[in-house]
A and B are shown apart, each in its own frame.
Chain A
Amino acid sequence: MSLVQVEGLSVRYGARTALSRVSLRVEPSEIVTIVGPNGSGKTSLLRAIIGAIKPFQGRVVQAGSLKIGYVPQKLHIDETLPITVSRFLKLSGGVTAADIDYTLAQAGVPELEKAQLSQLSGGQFQRVLLARALIAKPDLLLLDEATQGLDQRGSASFYQQIETVRQNTGCAVLMISHELHVVMSASDRVICLNGHVCCEGTPAVVASAPEYRALFGTGTGGALALYRHEHDHGHDHADHCHDHTEATE
């Protein structure tokens, strides 16, 4: 059974339609990426899935007892609120000291336990948010531009971490990213969103879809190349792959 099933979802803000008749499913332990231009409703979609936005039409069905780990795009911690990283992680309830050590290590920031949340750098903060999402042992991880404020290397290693987590825990991942080249290579399935679902499928299918090219241009072909290159699935057009990679570098 699907972890999350979105059926004909429309979201409106006043007169403006952010999403219209979007349907999608996320199956256990798959990594699904949502790409789309600014204002295409990506964040609205995630917020509708967690229940923060009421659908105008359609519905979101969560599997019974689904545990969601959510990493928001941005989170501002007010200076007036003193809170350590370990206290932040304990908010979920039923969390032991061992869980905290393990999860912080898993998120790549084992040394931050006693740090104040408001004093963290952007990259540290994103990883702590990831740790918080992971500590409740979620079935589904939702990431909204989780690598904002990280440099290219930082975000590449962040997504590697996500893949490792998926391998270790078997949780599914639904993420939004604008870093096409990194994300496409790590995803099982890509959904291209622009108010509605333009196209979806494996990274290879989406990257060659005319709808996708209309949105992002052909220049991003390199993303696909990188995908094929790294995973070496033995596709027919291996030659193009190298051409594209060189072109983008």
Chain B
Amino acid sequence: MLDDFMVRAALAGIGVAFASAPLGCFVVWRRMAYFGDATAHAAILGVALSLAFSMSIFVGTVVVALLMALVVSVLSGRGYAMDTLLGVLAHSALAFGLVAVSFLSGVRIDLMAYLFGDILAVSRGDLSVIWGGAALVVALIGWRWSALLTSTLSEDLAYASGINPKREQLVLTIALAITVAVAIKVVGVLLIAAMLIIPAAAARPLSRTPEGMAIAAGLIGILSAIIGLRAAYVLDTPAGPSIVCVAAITFIATSILKGLGRQR
């Protein structure tokens, strides 16, 4: 079964949707969308470094994404607005990454594959990295779920209940770095944030509890991956963007449903 590249692609897409769902909900609730975007952009620098030092791309991107998050948290609160800081770091990391890649003589790499993903070329090895990473992210968030939710609602409530919100923030940062590293092959650095935010946003009108929203986001993400791949096959469109398009259409549909519900 795994010999079929379409099956491997679908499994890869489902794996990414699985990890992005609970993490994406926190990204939406905590207004970290731009942070997710910045981490993803920085990953291209990770790709360049991995290739230069012939490391695994997964390790390189995780390390650079974590460093990026660390720099942001050190620099924040020092006179720069968060969005300025993230804008500077994200785009500099992307630019340095692109420049660094150009220095890699002898290695012919397809930059487009990292910017937009290359889900149809997912190998068995990639699949195990994607599913391993996704399982790690879901386990991490599941383990800290209550503490994360409390810190998201209010840092002071968290402190009063003996939870350290800074530690929970670190958990999310690590989960984000892993998700970015895992999702590069599937949707590419430019569309990772879309996989985080759009399914979660589309799930919002359908949910009454945080858990419900995470599950709905997961289902929407998985459906988007399957339908998007099918559409890419039939219409001969790029696979990663097609998946994001399906998720976006779902978002529009649930928003309209919510609007109708209000009128009644």
Contacts and interface: CB of A to CB of B under 8 A. Distances in A.
> Do the two chains bind?
yes
Given A52-B159, A93-B146, A72 B154 contact: yes
Residue of B150, B152, B208, B209 ringed by the most chain A CB atoms within 10 A: B209
Interface string B148-163: 0110111111011100
Contact of A52 (B156, B201, B213): B156
B251 to A, nearest CB: 13
A245 interface: no
A69 B160 CA distance: 7
A72 B160 CA distance: 10
B157 A82 contact: no
B28 to A, nearest CB: 5
A136 interface: yes
Given A50-B156, A52-B156, A70-B156, A83 B161 contact: no
Interface in B206-235: 207-210, 212-213
Contact of A75 (B154, B159, B212): B154
Contacts of A78: 29, 31
B8 interface: no
A51 B150 CA distance: 15
Contacts of B210: 81-83, 87
Nearest to A86: B209
Interface string A77-100: 110111110011001110000000
Given A81-B29, A82-B208, A91-B150, A52 B155 contact: yes
A163 to B, nearest CB: 21
Contact of B204 (A77, A80, A136): A80
Nearest to B161: A92
Interface string A40-63: 000000010011100000000000
A44 B209 CA distance: 32
B153 A77 contact: yes
A116 interface: yes
A75 to B, nearest CB: 5
B63 to A, nearest CB: 30
B152 A81 contact: yes
Contacts of B156: 47, 50, 52, 70, 72
Interface in A105-128: 116
Contacts of B201: 80
Contacts of B152: 81
Given A69-B160, A91-B149, A82 B154 contact: no
Residue of A77, A80, A82, A132 ringed by the most chain B CB atoms within 10 A: A82
A84 B213 CA distance: 12
A198 B130 CA distance: 61
A52 B162 CA distance: 10
Contacts of A69: 160
Residue of B28, B146, B210, B212 ringed by the most chain A CB atoms within 10 A: B210
A72 B159 contact: no
A77 B153 CA distance: 7
A125 B201 CA distance: 25
Contacts of A75: 153-154, 157
A50 B156 CA distance: 8
B29 A80 contact: yes
B209 A84 contact: yes
Interface string A133-147: 000100000100000
Closest A-B pairs by Cβ, 6 of them: A70-B160, A52-B159, A50-B160, A81-B29, A50-B159, A82-B207
Interface of A: 47, 50-52, 68-70, 72, 75, 77-78, 80-84, 87-88, 91-93, 116, 132, 136, 142
29 contacts: A47-B159, A50-B160, A52-B156, A52-B160, A68-B160, A68-B161, A69-B160, A70-B156, A70-B157, A70-B159, A72-B156, A72-B157, A75-B153, A75-B157, A77-B153, A80-B201, A80-B204, A81-B152, A82-B204, A82-B208, A82-B209, A82-B210, A82-B213, A83-B153, A83-B210, A91-B146, A91-B149, A92-B161, A132-B157
Interface of B: 28-29, 31, 146, 149-150, 152-157, 159-161, 201, 204, 207-210, 212-213
Given A80-B28, A91-B150, A116-B208, 16 more contacts: A47-B156, A47-B159, A69-B160, A70-B161, A72-B157, A75-B153, A75-B154, A80-B29, A80-B201, A80-B204, A81-B29, A82-B212, A83-B153, A87-B209, A136-B161, A142-B160
